[in-house]
Structure 1
Amino acid sequence: MSEQLFRLSETENARELAQRLFDDVSATLRLVLPDAAEVRHIGATAIPGCLTKGDLDVLIRVPAADFPRTDAILEARFARNGGSVRTDSFSAFEDASRAPHLGLQLTATGGPFDFFHRFAEALVQSPRRVEEYNALKRAHNNCDMAIYRAAKDAFIARVLSGAD
């Protein structure tokens, strides 16, 4: 088991802080990223009614040809997320010094990890799914982060497969 616990945050305040940080970060990124880059606010703070641990997740989608250059641009500005997988079409970065904690996921459009936006869209379109996700989060509040992430991954897979 990991040392880190999953803890829910006060949602509305977290949502406001995340949106302010997203506005700032996305404006800065748009100045340095390739023109084809798509920068999206994803994660719980982007989903109306969704409970959150209070961090900000940003998705950056780029054509595969732009992936290496975009990865280098992000690496020059942010720390790599060492706890995340890294491939030729996905990498993750973070900035723990920002409030809230900032996580960035870079994906090649159409690549195997290009699904984060689809999950967020599925939640926005279904209040029932948001309630199911909130129930999962409540059940794992103050629990080991690795256990929460495993349950979350299974939920995401179910939603994306359309099996619900």
Structure 2
Amino acid sequence: MEQVSFSDNSLFFEKVEKTFLLHKKLIKKLLPEADVQHVGSTAVPNSLTKGDLDIQVRVTSEQFSISVQTLSALYELNEGSVKTDSFRAFKDDSTDPPIGVQLTIINSEFDFFWKFRDVLLINDKYRKEYDDLKRNFEGKKMHEYREAKNEFFQRIIETPEFKKL
């Protein structure tokens, strides 16, 4: 049973940023038209994080199929995640930090990771609320944390900040 643990992202910032830039360069070399974004809590200063790196790769619908093939050669398909015609999740647990890659079609239903990051950057109240949620789940079951996290982000979707993006 996987338990969740969080740390201040300042402990990971340098390593995460270096890893992000390395993988962004690699992805852009193979998918030059892709929009590659650092998302997740390590992209939001002063946040609590599990210490992993989340990358969103945004492509057009025409580029999606080849992007799935290309990213499959670089990363493992995240079998525990949703798989649709506009979204695929990949991972690499062997890197330091571990990496999650979310491939989305631009403006599709799953093209929200960058928006969540931006809302947390725009409104520190939401970032603090998210950190409080994490503190409440420290040492608890990962699936319970993920459920609470999903509820939190469902509320964020309804905010004026999110709707403007």
Question: What TM-score comes out, normalization by structure 1 length?
Answer: 0.95
2:8·2:47 contact (CA, 8 Å) conserved in 1? no
2: CA distance, partners of 1:44 / 1:91: 20
Which residue of structure 1 lines up, in the alignment, with residue 147 of structure 2?
150
2: CA distance, partners of 1:155 / 1:104: 21
How far apart are 1:10 and its partner, in Å? 4.4
Aligned match for 2:69, one of 69, 72, 75: 72
How far apart are 1:54 and its partner, in Å? 0.3
Structure with bigger RCO (C-alpha 8 Å, 6+ apart): 1
Structure 1 residue identity aligned to 2:29: L
Which residue of structure 2 lines up, in the alignment, with residue 7 of structure 1?
5
2: CA distance, partners of 1:16 / 1:158: 31
Going from structure 1 to structure 2, the CA distance change for 1:163 and 1:155 (only over 3 Å counts) comes to farther
2:10·2:46 contact (CA, 8 Å) conserved in 1? no
Structure 1 residue identity aligned to 2:89: A
Runs of at least 4 residues off by over 3 Å = none
Cα distance per residue 1:101-145 (max 9 Å; x no partner): 000000001111111111110000011111000000000011100
Cα distance per residue 1:55-111 (max 9 Å; x no partner): 000000001110000010000111001110111100000001100000000000111
1: CA distance, partners of 2:124 / 2:66: 38
Which residue of structure 1 lines up, in the alignment, with residue 159 of structure 2?
162
Aligned match for 2:57, one of 54, 60, 76: 60
In structure 2, list runs of 5 or more residues that go unmatched: none
Question: What TM-score comes out, normalization by structure 2 length?
Answer: 0.94
The number of residue pairs the alignment matches comes to 161
% same residue: 36
In structure 1, list runs of 5 or more residues that go unmatched: none
